[in-house]
Structure 1
Amino acid sequence: MGSRNLKSLVDQICAHRAIRTQAPGSRRAAEVTALEALGCIPKPKGQGLENLLAIAGKGKVGKRAFDGLLLPRGLVIDYNDKAAIKTHRTNIIFIEVKTTGREGIGMDFQGFYFSMSDNEMKAAKALGKRYRFAFHNRRTGQTMLLTYAQLMRRVRARQVSHSILI
């Protein structure tokens, strides 16, 4: 993928969060690198995103619960076409990227402490194998893909916290 396409992908992924990324080593750039390494595409915008969430997301996936989509090689979906989404919904995998640049993280991501939003957890539970967490190490470039069930089998500790906006 050329640098122009990579910049376009970065802009598309970051736009939904109103964040612009210029630094190549930034967390958002790492998310794009992870998505690119897995062959993912950015999530659609506007009505296409609404259609995707209603049909393939079973109405249980929030707009911020994922970063990209993984489709079978060669499959292209028009997200403005509800029938196309319905036809291919079992082939659509929602991807949430979790990145780290910390030293001491194992090749199997042992020791990686990260946060998971309630929206991400609900989406992962609702979609099962059609929702994956992509763990990406910015230092090593390694990326690992896990389902919610696979992730929960590896959990060593869990802490609940709340983010509150006033």
Structure 2
Amino acid sequence: MVDMPIDAPLLIAGDIEIDNSSNKRTARTAALLIMRQLEHCHEPTTEERATICVAFARKGKPVYGKAFDLFQISAQYPRSTDGIEQAIHHEDLRLLEVKSTGRAKIDDDFSGYFFSLSTAELLVAQALGELYQFAFYNTTTKTLKLHTLNEIYKKAKGVYPTWSIRF
């Protein structure tokens, strides 16, 4: 797999306003900032999301459409249906699930950060391994940390299984 590096210091243009007024807005702000910081990182269109799910399914790796927020593709592939399919075939595309906070008291290593993990995220992370990472982003400190599921388990001080029900 081609290494997809994190760029040097994050430069924030004035057109992204930091909004920590709700969890949903913090996550959206974090996604925008992550796309600025990581090379070739994109928010998938509906068509790209479907292409990603189908291409991974062809490899026997289930991907649920709601289980990722962003994707990062190696520079050698165009951002097109064919490019995405080729990148997945060659394991040069990774999926990112954004976990965000705006709390200033969370340190750069995210110690003490409590977050939820959906069953879909868990299953996709297990299926894809290194090709699926959680992008932890603090919109206040501008800190980004990428972790695989195994790295999260190694860091975890506790795991609290839960079910969320929606009518």
TM over 0.5: yes
* Partner residue, 1:33: 33
1:111 and 1:137 map into 2 onto residues whose CA distance is 13
**What is the letter of the counterpart of residue 65 of structure 2?**
K
Indicate the larger mover: 112-121 or 28-37. Answer: 28-37
What is the aligned partner in structure 1 of residue 74 from structure 2? 72
- Structure 1 pair 34–128 and aligned structure 2 pair: CA distance change class (3 A): same
Question: What's the TM-score, normalizing by structure 2?
Answer: 0.77
- Runs (4 or more) in structure 1 with deviation over 3 Å come to 1-4
Per the alignment, residue 118 of structure 2 pairs with 117
Q: CA deviation at 1:49?
A: 2.4
**Structure 1 residue aligned with 2:55:** 55
**Alpha-carbon distance between aligned partners in 2 of 1:59 and 1:129, rounded to the nearest angstrom:** 13
Which sits farther off after the overlay, 35-44 or 148-157?
35-44
Report the CA distance shift for 1:110/1:2 in structure 2 as closer, same or farther (over 3 A): closer
- Residue-by-residue CA offset, 1:9-60 (whole Å, 9 max, x unaligned): xxxxxxxxxxxxxx631311122212321231111313x4222101135451
**What stretches of structure 2 of length at least 5 have no aligned partner?**
1-10, 20-24
Aligned-partner Cα distance in 2 for 1:35–1:95 = 11
Identity of aligned residues (%): 26
The alpha-carbon deviation at position 134 of structure 1 amounts to 0.5
Report the counterpart of residue 106 of structure 1 in structure 2: 107
Does the 8 Å CA contact 1:31/1:98 hold for their aligned counterparts? no
Contact 2:77–2:86 (CA<8 Å) still a contact in 1?
no
1:1-166 superposed matches below 5 A: 24-25=18-19, 26-27=25-26, 28-39=28-39, 40-46=41-47, 48-56=48-56, 58=60, 60-79=62-81, 81=82, 84-89=83-88, 90-166=91-167
* CA distance in structure 2 between the aligned counterparts of 1:101 and 1:3, rounded to whole angstroms: 18
- The number of aligned residues is 146
Per-residue deviation, 1:129: 0.3
Residue ranges of structure 1 left out of the alignment (5+ in a row): 8-22
Residues 2/98 of structure 1: CA separation in 2 closer, same or farther (3 Å cut): closer
Question: Structure 1 residues 3 and 109, CA, compared in 2 at 3 Å: closer, same or farther?
Answer: closer
Give the whole-Å Cα distance in 2 for the aligned partners of 1:35 and 1:154: 25
**Kept after mapping to 1: 8 A contact 2:69/2:97:** yes
Question: Could you tell me how far 1:69 is from its partner in structure 2?
Answer: 0.5
Asked if structure 1 preserves the Cα contact closer than 8 Å seen for 2:102 and 2:139, the reply is yes
